[in-house]
Chain A
Amino acid sequence: MGIRTSKKTMVAFLATMAVTAGTLAGCGGSGSASKASGGGDNVITVFDSEPQNPLIPGNTNETGGSRPGSQIFAELVSFDSNGKAQNEVAQSITPNSDSTQYSIKLKPGWKFSDGTPVTAQSFTRAWSYVANVKNVQKCASFFSTIKGYDDLQQKGLNGTEQLSGLKVLDDTTFTVDMSKPDSIFPVKVGYMAFAPLPDSFYKDPKAFGDKPVGNGPYKLAEWSHGQEIRLVRNGYYHGNVKPRNQGITFRIYTKVDAAYADVQGGNLDVMDTVPPADTKSFMSDPTVVAYNKPGSIIQMFSIPSNLEHFKSGTEEGTLRRQAVSMSIDRKSIVTKVLNGTGTQPVDFTSPKTPGFSENLKGKENLVYNPSKAKELWEKADAISKDVDPFAISYNADGGNKPIYDAIVNSIKNTLGIKVSADPVPTFQEFRNLVDKRQIKGGFRSGWTPDYPSAEDYLFQCYDSEAGHGNGANDGDYSNSRFDELMTQAYAAPSTDAANVIYGQAQEILLNDLPAIPLYYDNAHGVAMKGVKGFQMDWQNQSVYSELHK
């Protein structure tokens, strides 16, 4: 009898369970059905992370904010997918003979998405706002070559002071006086921090950051923090971009892995990145459309210029730097560790940089050549011996371990010396050590350009003016001939002329190797099956306007 009743009990339990599960499932049915379709006919859903700053152009310096921001704002020039600058709001940008003054004429008829006109003042006031230290804008430094910048870095400003180098002539014309020659200025003005701002911005910058009004191909419809940023077409826009969809919805993700699963499962249209775990398989994944081409980011490791036995400018140092560079088997790293999501480098910029050349003198120093490497190292040993074991530091939170293990092994096996990889737990901690110059050895470095110009790579990372904490020259490299070429390039009559000089400057770097280029990060991403027009621009971002279904 005992057995019979307890069997009944068990059946009852199971029945309760089934009923509860059923009811629970029933009551929540409405939640997701509407979402799976994404957002209607020709609206594209794309991956993003939560912007780390309010959506103000001058305060946006990371991809979470620049993905939607770049669609909301249009600048004087826009860049095509190869990084070539084309006039957008500007009719013409005319330099004087030594690039110290620019006269800028705007095309008539441009309007912000709220219907107010884009005038010369929309630019000058916005630029002064960003440059003015009182307004705490993270991109302030981009305006440092404009006259009057230093005056806006003082204490006791009220935030409304204007850059003295900007002069408005009429509604569609203004001039820019530079404090020193800057031939790259016509390219720089395509960077988002140079976007015009409507008058409504100055009334309440805080509210604007939550609901920005711009002059770009799209306008903000709704920003639900931590969830999505919904953009729709801006009817007032008539620039270079011809959107092929009705809108873009940026979905905020906690992690790229979740987004990848959503593309596979048909819930997300496009993402312009691939989780490390999937780099091996995404090219052959039948559930997605893959994109993988050389991009604009270069990965390197720097060797401090004052590192014992590696001092730059000395014969021994140069020999050792070249030996280390030639002992790295970049080809196997790119194919085996990166699974083809990187490309072997031939310079210090990127294949997406205007003026890029595959034939610079000294590019053979970036090619794996074990016998030559050994020979150079021995030559250096003949000058001075007792080299300390060489260590390379990197931040361990970015998936860099396999790459650096491979580099270290490659150097070790080729040169037969003691080399170690020295991981630092987080990027923050790593940057702190780099800033304090506390790393005694090589350290990971990389560069993501802000605008497509060799200047952005070369001046920021290797000019002596950018060293010692004043820029990104973290190895404190200093070469007077290189600095001279940088100055010459700034004074060049055109960006094309400047690019020729940047080529010469790079040949110096290829010999001195202040940093050892490792690979160009490929622009890689995936789209859902059935999404058309998926390609990526010079910034390794998806060309959102081309996407359609």
Chain B
Amino acid sequence: MGKYLLRRILQMIPVVLGTTLLVYALVFALPGDPVKAMFGDKPINQAVAAQIRAEYNLDKPFIIQYLLFLKNALTLNFGNTFAGQPVIDEIARAFPVTIKLGLMAFVFEALFGVVFGIISGLKKGKWYDAVILIVSLLLISVPTFVTGFLMQYFIGVKWHLLPVTAGNDPGFLDLLMPAMVLGSVSMAYIIRLSRSEISSNISEDYVRTARAKGMTNRSVIVRHVLRNSMIPVITYLGQDLGALMGGAMISETIFNIHGIGFLTYQSILKGESNMVVSIVTLLTLIFVVCNLVVDMLYAVLDPRIRYA
């Protein structure tokens, strides 16, 4: 187990290096000149522009820029944004908000997804199964920005039930609606996933055997059906936690949340490669760690899976 863990952690190094190089190259390849863009359509003082280029290493070839970034990153110096703010400060400001939002969305989708999935799976064919299925289908097929704008308009603007936007230093209520929007699609997937897992497991031989041995329905469901059905669901949730952190852009812009998704989007537009790469590195780490945790959880759920 320990050896396995060590191997997995060592594997992170090439993964992180590879992603940073790739992302840096992508931002570099973006058409347009970030320094020119700083002047908008106003006349550019070329001497000033040249100094800005030198300050941000933009006058050097790609590979030198990347190596300089790496060298500084090793000493935890991620450089400054074009506005003169340290990249690390901006990330430190945006990240807690996104974590809060991501975790709330995660709890929302896991809780409601699994609960509705179980109800649906155990009660296949009932009217509420049909309702749950239809609603989940709707959530999957309607894009999140539509769901977001509709919820914002009705729940926030019209009925004044929840804050319209999250704004600065958002609390639980401020983030409730954005988290619901962010988690809605995944929730729908989880409903469908757990429903189909449960309904197929419930007719398995081992369930019939357990019932024949006289186990109560409750322990059959909880100890056998649910435990087996949750493996794919947990895999999905583990993957999704990383995706929630990086993919919160749509709900962040709709609800005015200054989180990582929005920061990434803006940095790409401005051509701030340092910022984009730093964020992506962080997200890669989160993704890799989430996956590791999921793999460890397998062992807990299914005694047959053991890591040597």
Contact = CB atoms under 8 A, between A and B. Distances in A.
Interface of A: 1-2, 5-6, 9-10, 13-14, 16-17, 20, 24-25, 27-32, 35-36, 50-54, 61-62, 133-134, 136-138, 140-141, 153, 206, 209, 224-228, 251-255, 257-259, 261-262, 264-265, 267, 287, 425-432, 435, 445-447, 450, 460, 466, 470-472
B114 to A, nearest CB: 9
A251 B93 CA distance: 16
A17 B112 contact: yes
Nearest to B38: A138
18 contacts: A5-B218, A6-B122, A9-B221, A13-B115, A27-B172, A32-B170, A133-B51, A134-B51, A226-B90, A251-B167, A254-B252, A258-B164, A264-B164, A267-B165, A435-B33, A445-B41, A446-B41, A472-B43
Nearest to B114: A13
Contact of B83 (A53, A430, A450, A472): A53
Given A227-B167, A428-B36, A52 B82 contact: yes
Given A133-B48, A225-B85, A267-B165, A428 B34 contact: yes
A252 B93 CA distance: 14
Interface string B227-242: 0000000000000000
Given A51-B83, A264-B164, A254 B37 contact: no
Nearest to B263: A226
A16 B107 CA distance: 14
A134 B173 CA distance: 49
A262 B37 contact: no
Interface of B: 30-34, 36-45, 47-48, 51-52, 55, 82-85, 89-90, 93-94, 107, 111-112, 115, 118-119, 122-123, 149, 152-153, 156-157, 160, 163-165, 167-174, 176, 216-218, 221, 252-258, 262, 269-271
A133 B119 contact: no
A282 to B, nearest CB: 14
A31 B173 CA distance: 7
Contacts of B170: 31-32
Contacts of A28: 171-173, 176
A264 B157 contact: yes
Contacts of B82: 52-53
B40 A136 contact: no
B51 A136 contact: yes
A287 B38 contact: no
**Taking each of A28, A134, A251, A252, which has the highest tally of chain B beta carbons within 10 Å of its own beta carbon?**
A28
Nearest to A205: B84
Contacts of B45: 133, 138, 140-141, 153
Given A258-B254, A265-B156, 15 more contacts: A32-B171, A61-B40, A133-B47, A140-B45, A140-B47, A209-B84, A224-B168, A226-B258, A251-B168, A253-B165, A257-B253, A259-B256, A261-B165, A262-B164, A446-B41
B167 A35 contact: yes
A29 B173 contact: yes
The DSSP consensus for interface residues of chain B is helix
A5 B39 contact: no
A254 B43 contact: no
Contacts of B107: 24
A415 to B, nearest CB: 29
Contact of A62 (B40, B122, B271): B40
A254 B269 CA distance: 13
A13 B119 contact: yes
B271 A428 contact: yes
A258 B163 contact: no
A52 B38 contact: yes
B149 to A, nearest CB: 8
A32 B31 contact: no
B32 A429 contact: yes
A286 B171 CA distance: 30
A36 B42 contact: no
B216 A5 contact: yes
A257 B254 contact: yes
Given A25-B172, A54-B83, A141-B45, A262 B165 contact: yes
Contacts of A2: 217
A435 B82 CA distance: 21
B53 to A, nearest CB: 11
A447 B48 CA distance: 22
Contacts of A5: 216-218
Nearest to B31: A429
A61 B122 contact: no
B131 to A, nearest CB: 14
B254 A6 contact: no
Nearest to A430: B32
Nearest to A209: B84
A225 B97 CA distance: 14
A387 to B, nearest CB: 29
A216 to B, nearest CB: 21
A460 B253 CA distance: 36
B102 to A, nearest CB: 15
Contact of A52 (B30, B42, B83, B271): B83
Given A28-B172, A32-B174, A432 B52 contact: no
